[in-house]
Chains A and B, each alone.
Chain A
Amino acid sequence: MSADGIAAPPGASPLAAIRAVPRAGWHVATVAATHRETPNASRIELDVDGWPGNAAGQHLDVRLTAPDAYTATRSYSIASSGDSTRVVLAVDKLPDGEVSPFLVDDLRAGDQLEVHGPLGAFFVWRPAVESGDDRPVQLIAGGSGVVPLYAMAHAHADASDPTPFRLLYSVRTPRDVYFADEWRALAAASAPLQVDLVYTRQAPDDWPAPPGRITREALEAAVIPAAERPRVYVCGSTGFVERVADWLVGLGHAPGDIRTERYGGT
């Protein structure tokens, strides 16, 4: 960087980042299947004609069009990665939302919508063999914020990547865990992954800690220590991400090692 004292942006590599990512475009998507992920969320599998594949952690824009040409567009993280044209989303229903209640409750197999993507070249994880980066990875999710992190953990397992991964996942109740069966399978796979859950409203009967929002102490106990220089990906509502990222900096993690994705809301 030419200007003294003005640091390069954290993790920003030059134009290589743009070239590494397929060019985004509009695609017609056909709903292959939808099913309840949690009482409040649906998993949506799309067949996307001409989808160029995507990296773990990227998102797309969904555009819905009404008969009178009114449109609404929202961003959704992609739970899948790789070359496949089958693209998986998981959407949480906001009670007063315009798009998410439609996607969660009304969308069914055979419906079509438009997607624009893949998008984002920053909140992504690539296997150590590709990136030459074998620093451990700490994933931290609140609620639906787990979607891009699940894509990362899945890509990590698919690549049998030796990088240590740890997930700290805050959910309301045991029924609100996205990808519950998949986490069990991933934790048993050869790529190293440890999953730690925090329950904010209701914990399983035999759970050692009472339900409640994550605390600084609980965070410290459940994340890879700053001394090991993990790369940290934090995703969830704005309030969650703000709180967690502040604590991480307080615990000695370098701000440039912490990547965040905020879904809005508080």
Chain B
Amino acid sequence: MIVHVPDGFLDAPTSLAAGAVAVAGVAVSLRGARRELDDRTAPLAGLTAAFVFAAQMLNFPVAAGTSGHLLGGALAAILVGPYAGVLCVSVVLLLQALLFADGGLSALGTNVIVMALVTVPVGYLLFRGLLRILPKTRPAASAAAFAAAAVSVPASALSFTLLYAVGGTTDVPIGTVAAAMVGVHLLIGVGEGLITAFAVSSVLAVRPDLVYGARELIKPVVLRTAPPAAETATEGRA
């Protein structure tokens, strides 16, 4: 099934330090998320967290005898904003650890760092950067979502490796861990990219105004929906 970092991979001091970093990151996100959430986007953020939970259950095969699952940081950031995105993934990780015994309790900080505090900024900044360069179209936004999500996964694997270099409990050469982690997660990143691009383009197709990270794409769609809205208004007056 899903499997996040369990207890015992990292030593106690490193886990404690990771916990402190995670608490700080979540605290900053609690403040920042106020700007991203309103009456309309707050329920969307709740749904996004639920979708990330559900999609994480869907391990897909990546290579001989190995599977991968969505991390969801890039997706959540694009849909509801980076601060709310961190909170979405963190809520999922907290409930997975408490209800489903997935992800060690002492490793919760580690999991929040590698799956929320790394994937969200990497995914969001890359998505925004690509939107700036690419044409302002929905296919371009989907491609940007794919690339942002795909890169966020090996970045997450690398961040775990760095934590392991600091406080790993076994004596394995760190270069070996890095190569193996990044290697397999490059493949998982392709799956992450496909799921993210599919989800983002689905929302863009029906309600582009609900995609926080692609606000500049709203304009043409508002123009397209303007005539029926105007008709309704005229009918209402008549």
Tell me if chain B binds chain A. Answer: no
Q: Which residues of B contact A (CB under 8 A)?
A: none
Q: Which residues of A contact B (CB under 8 A)?
A: none
